[in-house]
């Protein structure tokens, strides 16, 4: 019974990594496009207790936006813009931004310029597959012993 529990936990963790990897490219293919409004752009604050990056060297910014779906409901989202050396290129408050979202679940959304596959998407997907594969093998081997 314990082995089945851990196998399910490992599979769920792997599936979450796979979902994180394929979310943006899938939104690029099947997502609906709408126009949103930037609600805030601010410097990203590290939540870590380590102070490797102080505010003088931190070049990352959080961009928050909101958009409405055809049913009139308002939704929001955010993304991290990394390594910004010229803040003139950051979206300004109240500027328009194109958003891709899943029609059935508008809470799953991203800016249209983030939907291209990248090394990160490939890495998350591959890590999810590896976790599922090796996690399943480890549970099977433990069961045999």
pLDDT digits 0-9 by tens, 18-52: 998 888 888 989 999 999 999 999 988 876 655 55
Q: Which residues pair with 41 in a beta bridge?
A: 63
Complete edge-to-edge strand list for the sheet that includes strand 32-43: 74-81, 61-68, 32-43, 96-101, 109-111
Mean pLDDT of 65-70: 96
Average pLDDT over the chain, rounded to an integer: 86
If one compares 106 and 138, the residue with the highest pLDDT of the two is: 106
Mean pLDDT of 68-85: 92
If one compares 113 and 105, the residue with the highest pLDDT of the two is: 105
Per-residue burial over 27-62, b if 16 or more Cβ lie within 10 Å, else e, is bbeebeebebbbeebeebeeeeeeeeeeeeeeeebe
pLDDT at 1: 63
For 141, phi then psi, to 5°, come to -65, -40
Which 3 state secondary structure label does DSSP give 29? helix
CB 20 within 8 A of CB 83: no
Nearest to 6 by CA among 127, 145, 132, 128: 132
Q: Give the separation between CA 18 and CA 132, rounded to whole angstroms.
A: 10
């Amino acid at each position: 019974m314990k082995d089945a529990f851990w196998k399910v936990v490992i599979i769920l963790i792997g599936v979450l990594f796979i979902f994180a990897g394929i979310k943006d490219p899938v939104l690029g293919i099947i997502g609906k496009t709408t126009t949103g409004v930037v609600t805030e752009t601010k410097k990203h604050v590290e939540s870590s207790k380590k102070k490797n990056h102080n505010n003088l060297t931190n070049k990352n910014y959080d961009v928050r936006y909101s958009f409405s779906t055809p049913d009139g409901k308002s939704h929001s989202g955010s993304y991290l813009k990394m390594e910004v050396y010229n803040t003139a290129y950051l979206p300004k408050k109240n500027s328009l931004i194109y958003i891709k979202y899943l029609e059935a679940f508008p809470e799953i959304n991203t800016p249209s310029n983030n939907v291209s596959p990248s090394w990160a998407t490939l890495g998350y997907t591959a890590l999810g597959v590896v976790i599922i594969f090796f996690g399943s093998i480890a549970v099977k081997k433990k069961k045999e012993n």
